[in-house]
Structure 1
Amino acid sequence: MSRKAMIFRGGWDGHEPKKVSERFKKLLEKEDFEVDVFDTQECLAETEPLLKYDLIIPMWTQGQMDDRYAFHLAEAVESGVGLGGAHGGMCDSFRWNIEYQFMTGSQWVAHPGDTWYHHISDLSPDNLAFVQQFYPSPDDGFETTYTVNIKRGAASPIVEGIPDFQVRTEQYYLHLDPCVNVLATTLVTTTGPHSSNGPVAMPVVYTKLWGKGRVFYSSLGHVDRIYDEAPEAQEIVRRGLLWAARK
């Protein structure tokens, strides 16, 4: 019998939630999953319907989540439903929802290599216009080429046999739960006031546990094409989602 996965998508269009979610859907269908896709958070309105899924994938950049929805999602994962995702679709989400952030294990706070180091909390048209006027960024100002360093001896099927690789995409600086199991890192050198702290080995891929549930996250994949340009990034996501799914 095939397993079931759910993707709920929305939020900021710049991360191409529809394209990326369709890619993840196809990856899972090749692994014999049935995948339901929702363009609303109303699918989180009750806990019981979530328990039929083996894996839930958030694909929702920024936005807001009702606390009740977060509680239902957390209860489902605690019971054994897997949770997995990538980039801003999972961990640049629901900034005011502490239950969600605690469960997922991290939150984006900066693109560390940018010359434009003022980062806005809300990607509203007014805020974007303000930043473009007073703190303009060059084209592709958030994208940079960097190396993803696989953690040797991690003993995880998610990264086993994958060599270090380069990718050109957004480099994420995250605030992280110290309990996460780091599987890959990247060396970041910040600009602006944080640069006084020197280079930092920033986690890129990690896992953690939430009750009986498994949580997987990769910060790779600003837009859909990144997974074609860096097939290692897609393979890590494929393996990570399968690892997280309820066994």
Structure 2
Amino acid sequence: MARLETSGYTPVLILGDAEWLSLRAVAMGGRIPKDRIARRLRRSGVLDDQGITPSAAPALHGVAGATRHLDVARFSPARPGQRAEAWIGPERATIVKHEPDGYHVYGLDGCEVPSAFVQLLDVRPRHNIDLGPRILPQSVYSFIDSGDLDALAEEFARIARQLDRGGEPGQLGGPTPLTDGFASGQWTLSLISTSTPRDGGWEVVGSLTTLSVPECLYELIPKSVATALDGGAAPEVVAQVAASDLPEELVLAHMTSLELWMRVSSWFFAA
């Protein structure tokens, strides 16, 4: 499957899952493999007896010296899921886009990383009309956690039917921008996390889940975490609460696109 595209301004590697894992290990200083996967990488011009070829190397410069890993996924009923990762070093970054035909791997200068991710964050101007609801049931947490987006879409539509009972817009029993978005399928879910090296592996040091409709943007926060934050709990206590994987209700905390950008902007650069 492995392919090396060199027709653009920067080389792009198109790899399967096993090919990417094998090549990443080499880029991080590992031994040059001699298995079936390595043979495919050699035939495509990505590997040779010395390691990564000069033609493919610019796509992988960010991996060896990476001090931050960024993972962003975006889902909506209107289009297939989108996901991109970045291995970010002091000067260069390696971007990995998950596409239908495999992982598209290419390199960028560090200053260019934000432009590769901004569309996945759903950052855009909004009227910021927040009329609720403010709590989502445990089922939403479970469907997000399992990645069952069809079930999530059905659950959002059910919530809209339950809350919209023919009342006036914005009033009890009437539609809101959020429930309208649920009913019409005009919602977007974004999952963002960042990790830094620790003890030979990677430790998640920040994460954010957002839900948006055309009129408003929210952070989704487990209710126990929201309660701890509201109570002024110490950061280590909040982290301990957040580590629980038990399904629970989710609090919809309204935020603006600017607030979202300020929260995550430092994640686009080396730690």
TM-score higher than 0.5 here?
no
TM-score by length of 2: 0.25
| Structure showing greater Rg | 2
Q: TM-score, normalised by structure 1?
A: 0.27
